[in-house]
Structure 1
Amino acid sequence: MPESPPNDDQFADLFSKLPDPNQRGGGDSSASPPSRREARAAAQRGDGSATPPETIAASADQPVADRVPESAPLDALFVDDVSEREHVARLRRDRRKSRIAGWVVFGVVLALLGGLTAGGFYVWNTYEDKIRAFMGWEEPKDYEAGMATGEVSVTIVSGDNGASISQTLFDSGVTKTADAFYDHLIATAQNPTFQPGVYSMQQQMTSAAALEALLNPANKQEYTAQLREGLTVEQSLPLLADGIGLPLADLQAAVVDPAAYGVAASSLEGWLFPATYTFDPGATAPQVIQTLVDRSVASLDAAGVPEADRQRILTTASIIQREARLDEDFYKVSRVIANRLADGMKLQMDSTAQFGFNELHDGTASSSAEALEDPNAWNTYVVDGLPAGPISNPGDTAIDAAMHPAEGDWLYFVTWNMDTGETIFSATYAEHEQGIAQWDQWCADNDNRGC
């Protein structure tokens, strides 16, 4: 038979070469339909079979026009690999932008949460007392009955009152807070007379039990005297007399001549070491004083103080003892003293002005205007350098701090919380003014207690 005449319709010829949809997979109707990629590759070959992957990969970089033969099916003419690549690239860019946007949002959320947390800490630290009072979360100021344990010696000094004894009991671990004992006296309308001396007590006592113990003569220790840090000679001698039963006049006469005890100074101020002492009933006043001086020498030697520097170190240590409230601050206060002396600044320590003006024992941290202006040899608001001598009896920590000040550039400090003794140290006066403002606020919120 003659061959079929050529078809002048090119599109019809193309359609005639398209695979029969009813005969996919070589006529096997049960075979799985080819993928779009396989169909496109088969259309390019015109044989309905899938192009090997290596052939597809090899032709991927060719222009579309070169990769589509003239006899390719109609749908191959509209294949646009470039558009497909751009579409994929656009999807990738969109995903990358989405990830970046997600991280940005995450960072903003973290910043907001961090700001809220920091703000919460600031509010709590600043207004904790008021928040606790408003919410009814205040902790009890007193220990509960039955918690008392151990044994501790508490010294009552001549002239002590309810407020100062309340602080002493707290410092000794007897009561839970600094004002618990005093509040108990006010609440129960009591104003007893306290006898100077050393009393055997327990720690973690209720205020009521502590009061009962102080009023019980059986708790007063005989032939025992306890001198706490920071006392002066004037304060120490009555405690010695009351504790060991010696006449006060004998002790006052015994301290007149420091040279009798090997002290090259005009006074024994600073040389009566603070500690608890027990003497035999027959001990004389000079023997008692010699015991205290020897204990000071032992502390100076332990700190590595040269004999020629003893008086200077005791003077510095006595200021540290009166100014620092917490043990860890002793060495910082020592550094402030050293830095101010090195810079040629006046020390301007309130404790020295108070000592020189005889108002060291009024129980406040601030000095009167008269004390600050009085031109005595101890007032470091007036004189340059160290005062004329020690202003109190320093303990081991203060003596060691005087020899080994902490490293720092501080020139100022202020104790802003008179209950806890927390202190702010500053290198500049602008920073110091901020600390003073914090102290002023605390004093205003606490009835100027101890301020």
Structure 2
Amino acid sequence: MTGATETQGGGPGAASASTPADAAGSRRAARESRGGRSGGRAEAPTGPRRVVRSRRGAWGCLAVLLVFVALLAVAAVILQGPIAQLFAATQGPADYEGTGDKELVVMIHEGDTGEDVAAALAKADVVKSYAAFYKLLLAESPAPVFQPGAYQLATKMSARSALDALLDKKNKLEHTVVIPEGTTAAVALQSLSEGTEVPLADIQAAAKDVASFGLPAEATSLEGFVFPATYNFTPGVTAHDAIKTLVDRQFKALDDAGVTADKRWTTITMAALIQREAGLREDYYKVSRVFYNRLNPQLWPSGLLQSDATVTYRTGNTHLATTTDSERADAGNPYNTYVHPGLPAGPISNPGDLAIDAALHPADGPWLYFVSWNLDTGETIFSATLKDHEVAVAKWLAWMKDHPEYG
């Protein structure tokens, strides 16, 4: 068909949510103390004059010394955190050393800013922190200019090595496209254009002919049926053939998982939801179970999945982890699972093999709730009761208070 080859892309959520800037602050505290008395000398009232050395003086000095040592110990404990923060601040943001470890391909899109590039590199573990790379960019003169496309990089590169690699034309891969798990169709099509050099307008026009790709009758777009992977295309590929390569690869994933044609729509819709909601690999199957339990009227009479990810898919605020009261109450949003029971109106992302498998094989468990309380690590708490869930939510809210960039 098109002569394209592919390898599966990065880990869960590789393109979802933005990566925040790392921050280091410093605080200083000090304590002063003073006190203690020294002993004097005593003379005999009569007779030959003699000096008597007072033991009081020695014990007084010892007491002062002990108090001073104790105060130093207390100060060391109190100041340990601020001193460590001050040290971290003076040392600069966390950074890897060297030119990298495991090879991988990263996409840079048309219009990406320095912040976008820093975020993408940090999320892919190319650099250790957003701040390390972005600080380097700010120090460069003239400011680096990045060309959209796919780049051969590696994990665990120093910020300097990563920047040098991005600016080296030898590392720009021709006719290569990277689509991470959880990417929306709109972003995937943009990547396809940038990697193949087929005009985006042509890609978008071809994508509108949904029926020509053999999608289920319920599909009104390519959403959910663009398999996330790294593809290498032959020069001169047409827009239709390039898209068909991605769609056919998703069909293959479904066929390999044992999904029959009549089950493709519901399987992909559930898998796409799991892909957006799950963080750590082992949580995919638990997240799947929560949603299936909520579809069970005996366990969850309302049938409302209550997923923020479905709401933000329609609002376009997919970079946020939260939704507003008005957004959750909007019945005009067909993807709003706070007001519309059952699965969302359609897929909200493009899932990979893991999410598809989780949709087909949910874990066994009584869970009805989950909350990813740490959005940096993806750590998630699953609960079977509202009481336990409220405790988990309080933990998440405390974390969000300390990380306002996610709100």
Report the alpha carbon displacement of residue 234 of structure 1 after superposing the two structures with TM: 1.1
| Higher CA-based Rg | 1
Separation of aligned partners in 2, 1:428 and 1:191: 53
Normalising by structure 2, what TM-score? 0.72
Could you say if the C-alpha distance between residues 398 and 143 of structure 1 is closer, same or farther in structure 2, counting changes exceeding 3 Å?
Answer: same
Report the alpha carbon displacement of residue 183 of structure 1 after superposing the two structures with TM: 5.1
Comparing 265-274 with 367-376, which one deviates more in the overlay? 367-376
Let me know the Cα RMSD of the aligned residues.
Answer: 2.7
* 1:34-433 equivalences in 2 (<5 Å): 133=84, 142-146=94-98, 148-158=100-110, 160-177=112-129, 179-182=131-134, 184-185=136-137, 194-264=146-216, 265-342=219-296, 343-344=300-301, 345-360=303-318, 363-374=319-330, 375-433=332-390
**371, 385, 391: which one pairs with 1:434?**
391
Report the alpha carbon displacement of residue 177 of structure 1 after superposing the two structures with TM: 3.8
Separation of aligned partners in 2, 1:189 and 1:437: 45
Could you say if the C-alpha distance between residues 440 and 154 of structure 1 is closer, same or farther in structure 2, counting changes exceeding 3 Å?
Answer: same
What letter is aligned with 1:232? T
Cα deviation digits, residues 10-39 of structure 1 (max 9, x gap): xxxxxxxxxxxxxxxxxxxxxxxxxxxxxx
Separation of aligned partners in 1, 2:81 and 2:374: 15
Separation of aligned partners in 1, 2:147 and 2:347: 28
Identity of aligned residues (%): 47
Comparing 269-278 with 134-143, which one deviates more in the overlay? 134-143
Separation of aligned partners in 2, 1:242 and 1:225: 8
Cα deviation digits, residues 378-437 of structure 1 (max 9, x gap): 111121101111011111111111111111111111111121111111111221121121
- Local SS of the residue matching 2:405: coil
Question: How many aligned residue pairs are there?
Answer: 320
Separation of aligned partners in 1, 2:373 and 2:134: 21
- Local SS of the residue matching 1:416: strand
Separation of aligned partners in 1, 2:154 and 2:232: 19
Comparing 230-239 with 157-166, which one deviates more in the overlay? 157-166
Could you say if the C-alpha distance between residues 170 and 353 of structure 1 is closer, same or farther in structure 2, counting changes exceeding 3 Å?
Answer: same
Could you say if the C-alpha distance between residues 245 and 383 of structure 1 is closer, same or farther in structure 2, counting changes exceeding 3 Å?
Answer: same
What letter is aligned with 1:445? D
Cα deviation digits, residues 58-77 of structure 1 (max 9, x gap): xxxxxxxxxxxxxxxxxxxx
Separation of aligned partners in 1, 2:141 and 2:308: 34
Q: Point out the structure with the larger helix share.
A: 1
Checking the alignment, whether the CA contact within 8 Å between 1:166 and 1:181 is kept in structure 2 is yes
Checking the alignment, whether the CA contact within 8 Å between 2:109 and 2:194 is kept in structure 1 is no
Report the alpha carbon displacement of residue 164 of structure 1 after superposing the two structures with TM: 4.5
Separation of aligned partners in 2, 1:132 and 1:340: 49
Could you say if the C-alpha distance between residues 330 and 216 of structure 1 is closer, same or farther in structure 2, counting changes exceeding 3 Å?
Answer: same
Query: Which structure exhibits the higher relative contact order, with contacts defined as CA atoms closer than 8 Å and separated by 6 or more residues?
Result: 2
- Local SS of the residue matching 2:153: strand
Comparing 367-376 with 302-311, which one deviates more in the overlay? 367-376
Separation of aligned partners in 1, 2:270 and 2:82: 41
- Local SS of the residue matching 2:394: helix
Tell me the residue number matched to 2:36.
none
Separation of aligned partners in 1, 2:364 and 2:131: 35
Report the alpha carbon displacement of residue 206 of structure 1 after superposing the two structures with TM: 1.0
Structure 2 gaps of 5+ residues are 1-79
Normalising by structure 1, what TM-score? 0.65
